[in-house]
């Protein structure tokens, strides 16, 4: 593979124009000036250059729901990875929502096998996100009540079984554990704990963040709102420097005005990250689709159950970036960082040492995205064309 450099690039996390040296298909160096006059160059003329997106909450695509996967679906998972790659997503956490333990174990077995044989130049499965079944019934949203489980050590070990190395994140409601032992146990297994679908108050959430929880699942949704006398789970998260909150930017789950407040309170990409929360009809047209034993209807990219309960989206991760810029929630660089840099940092273990932003880019694959903002403020992207 030919070595080259990229010039006149804006890069999330950097000030001013930068140059990027690419060697053997990897990012070698980023600086305002590079002593590489002999290298061919790609002048991006002030456009933004970024790593691809990382989606930490995606429930399915192309008609396949991740809780329903079977071994015969391995070729379909390859197709989904290729599809997400074409959508600018470098890696993702297939999310298994609340279902039976048998379904969870079957899905975990399939993904454990799939991860062993992943290929380059396609979106990578980075592990599994279990969203449930340890959720508060009062905040279960579209999760089926029949499969919710108590947050006990026996139940957790039964669900995780032999797949703890495949599970990357678990979303749970911390108030369901009066012993305050589950989060430290999950952390001992190397599993990142995210709080969500919860009625936890400020004190309860603060205690669990101290115990090792480091993420929040779809901020504002399926949790009490911010209140000036009881800040709640989200208020506790926004006061913790090690906690990052995921959020959905589809205009339905959270009003753009509230996203502006969230971005200010969460110091943008320092404390937040973007997710798609996309469901299995991602990549398919609007319409009615099966979802476990129920049915969802997708209208303008928003999926709801028959009773009107909001269940997710069918818009990919980078559409959220474009929405944030279109709505004026944050500037282009921060919007891109929320889908590319911040999710990568959120996946680092809470006890991991801090790293410089440049170290996050170095030695990464040079399958980069080029972003252009036109005179109307509309943001578009494409995979960077290599010379």
Annotated catalytic residue, options 277, 286, 331, 359: 277
Same domain for 137 and 30, yes or no, is: no
Active site residue 374: no
Same domain for 20 and 98, yes or no, is: no
What is the distance between the alpha carbons of residues 233 and 200, in angstroms, rounded to a whole number? 6
DSSP code, position 144: -
Structure tokens belonging to residue 65 = 């729901």
Structure tokens belonging to residue 367 = 């399958």
How high is the pLDDT of residue 294? 87
Same domain for 11 and 143, yes or no, is: no
Cα distances (Å, whole numbers) of residue 49 to 13, 68, 250, 308, 333: 11, 36, 23, 40, 9
Residues in the chain with pLDDT < 70? 1, 351, 387
Same domain for 378 and 245, yes or no, is: no
How high is the pLDDT of residue 1? 58
How high is the pLDDT of residue 109? 98
What is the distance between the alpha carbons of residues 89 and 136, in angstroms, rounded to a whole number? 31
How high is the pLDDT of residue 29? 93
Q: What does the pLDDT look like over 320-377, one tens digit per residue?
A: 999 999 999 999 999 999 999 999 999 987 767 777 788 889 989 899 999 999 989 8
How high is the pLDDT of residue 291? 84
Structural domain count of the chain: 2
What is the distance between the alpha carbons of residues 9 and 46, in angstroms, rounded to a whole number? 5
8 A C-beta contact, residue 212 and residue 206? no
Where residue 39 sits, what CATH number does that domain have?
2.30.40.10
pTM of the model: 0.96
How high is the pLDDT of residue 387? 67
| Number of helices and strands in the chain (H, E) | 11, 22
User: Residue 89's CB: how many other CB atoms inside 10 A?
Assistant: 25
Same domain for 87 and 141, yes or no, is: yes
Same domain for 62 and 137, yes or no, is: yes
Same domain for 261 and 165, yes or no, is: yes
Q: To 5 degrees, how large is the angle CA 354–CA 202–CA 211?
A: 45
Same domain for 376 and 348, yes or no, is: no
Same domain for 35 and 67, yes or no, is: no
What is the distance between the alpha carbons of residues 322 and 376, in angstroms, rounded to a whole number? 13
Same domain for 62 and 43, yes or no, is: no
What is the distance between the alpha carbons of residues 53 and 40, in angstroms, rounded to a whole number? 27
Beta strands in 24-147 (DSSP E): 26-31, 41-43, 48-50, 53-58, 60-61, 64-65, 89-97, 124-125, 128-131
Where residue 62 sits, what CATH number does that domain have?
3.20.20.140
Same domain for 37 and 164, yes or no, is: no
Range of the domain at 130: 53-354
Same domain for 237 and 270, yes or no, is: yes
């Amino acid at each position: 593979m030919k070595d080259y450099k990229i010039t006149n690039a804006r890069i999330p996390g950097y000030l001013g124009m930068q140059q990027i040296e690419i060697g053997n298909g990897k990012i070698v160096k980023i600086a305002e000036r590079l002593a590489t006059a002999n290298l061919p160059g790609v002048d991006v003329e002030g456009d933004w250059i970024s790593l691809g997106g990382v989606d930490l909450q995606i429930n399915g695509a192309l008609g396949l729901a991740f809780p329903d996967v079977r071994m015969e679906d391995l070729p379909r998972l390859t197709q989904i990875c290729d599809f997400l790659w074409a959508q600018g997503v470098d890696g993702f956490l297939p999310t298994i929502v609340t279902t039976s333990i048998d379904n969870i174990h079957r899905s975990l077995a399939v993904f454990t096998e799939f991860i062993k044989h992943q290929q380059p130049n396609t979106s990578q499965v980075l592990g599994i996100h279990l969203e449930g079944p340890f959720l508060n019934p009062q905040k279960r949203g579209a999760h089926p009540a029949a499969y919710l489980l108590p947050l006990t050590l026996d139940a957790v070990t039964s669900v995780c079984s032999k797949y703890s190395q495949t599970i990357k994140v678990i979303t749970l409601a911390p108030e369901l554990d009066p012993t305050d032992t589950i989060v430290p146990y999950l952390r001992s297994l190397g599993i990142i704990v995210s709080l969500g679908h919860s009625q936890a108050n400020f004190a309860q959430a603060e205690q669990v963040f101290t115990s090792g929880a480091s993420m929040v699942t779809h901020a504002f949704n399926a949790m009490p709102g911010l209140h000036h006398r009881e800040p709640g789970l989200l208020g506790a998260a926004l006061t913790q420097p090690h906690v990052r909150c995921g959020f959905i930017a589809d205009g339905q789950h959270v009003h753009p005005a509230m996203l502006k407040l969230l971005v200010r309170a969460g110091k943008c990409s320092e404390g937040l990250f973007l997710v798609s929360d996309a469901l299995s009809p991602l990549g398919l047209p609007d319409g009615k689709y099966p979802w476990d034993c129920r049915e969802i209807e997708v209208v303008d990219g928003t999926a709801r159950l028959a009773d009107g309960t909001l269940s997710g989206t069918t818009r990919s991760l980078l559409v959220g970036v474009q929405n944030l810029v279109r709505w004026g929630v944050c500037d282009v660089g921060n919007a891109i960082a929320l889908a590319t840099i911040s999710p990568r940092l959120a996946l680092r273990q809470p006890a991991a040492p801090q790293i410089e932003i440049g170290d996050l880019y170095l030695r990464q694959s040079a399958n980069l995205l080029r972003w252009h903002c036109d005179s109307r403020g509309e943001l578009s992207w494409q995979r960077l064309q290599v010379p």
